[in-house]
Chains A and B, each alone.
Chain A
Amino acid sequence: MSVTDLLQHSELFLGLTPEQVGQVAMLGQEVTYKAGDVIIREGDPSDEIYVICSGTVEVEVSRGTIPDVTGPPRLTSLARLGQGQVFGEMALVDRGARSATVRCVKDGTEVCVIPRQALWALCDSDHHIGYVVMRNIAADLSFKLRHRNLRMRLAGGEA
């Protein structure tokens, strides 16, 4: 399956024509990760958005606001994401530092890495693409929040 086909199975590009998804696919690069690889690290600058073509990743945040300088950072897992899911999308919206660490949990996980500036430039040059992508990012963030709320409800408030 081509990158364009894979991206068409991601909600991020729902509502775009195959030609428009092809334009996005041309910006991206496919990268394969091993289990345990850190794909993005909390606090780092953010320059890309990621779409999972196959495999699974886990999203983690460090507990507490001050890093433990005497030992490894304590991490709490927030979510596990599989095929078709997007991460790093907050950077596309706010250009802030990475809010979480994302680690590959399945060997051979394939991810399409799309540079933020190139995607912004495409969204600026074609406002329909820009509107659709931003609407879909909002919908994706909303879905993740619903998932987290439901998980918290089951856990009695512990996320």
Chain B
Amino acid sequence: MIYKVSYVVTGKPHLGEIVNLDAPPRVGDRVQLGNEPCEVVEVIELIPPRENFAYLHVTCRPVQEKK
């Protein structure tokens, strides 16, 4: 399965990202969106799957990296 993912970021202006992944994102995952380290807080199916493509919408929040 290929997961076409729409990432958006809460709490600040951010472009988000659209990317294809081999595995679905899960709540709690850490992702790097541009220069912004983020944590996944919600994953929903945006539209029904077609053949081997799934379409997900992922909401993230920025996280501060520990120094």
Contact = CB atoms under 8 A, between A and B. Distances in A.
Nearest to B3: A84
B6 A78 contact: no
Given A105-B34, A146-B6, A154-B10, A79 B15 contact: yes
B28 to A, nearest CB: 20
A95 interface: no
A9 B15 contact: no
Contact of B8 (A15, A81, A82, A151): A151
Contacts of B46: 143, 146
A48 interface: no
A126 B16 CA distance: 37
Interface string A1-37: 0000000011100110000000000000000000000
B8 A79 contact: no
Interface in B1-34: 2, 4, 6, 8-10, 13, 15-20, 33-34
B18 A80 contact: yes
Interface residues of A, number: 27
Interface string A75-103: 00111111111000000000000000000
Q: Is the interface of B mostly helix, strand, loop or mixed?
A: strand
Interface residues of B, number: 24
A146 B4 CA distance: 13
Nearest to B46: A146
Given A150-B57, A154-B8, A143 B18 contact: yes
A56 B17 contact: yes
Interface of B: 2, 4, 6, 8-10, 13, 15-20, 33-34, 46-47, 50-53, 55, 57, 59
Interface of A: 9-11, 14-15, 56, 58, 77-85, 105, 139, 143-144, 146-147, 150-151, 154-155, 158
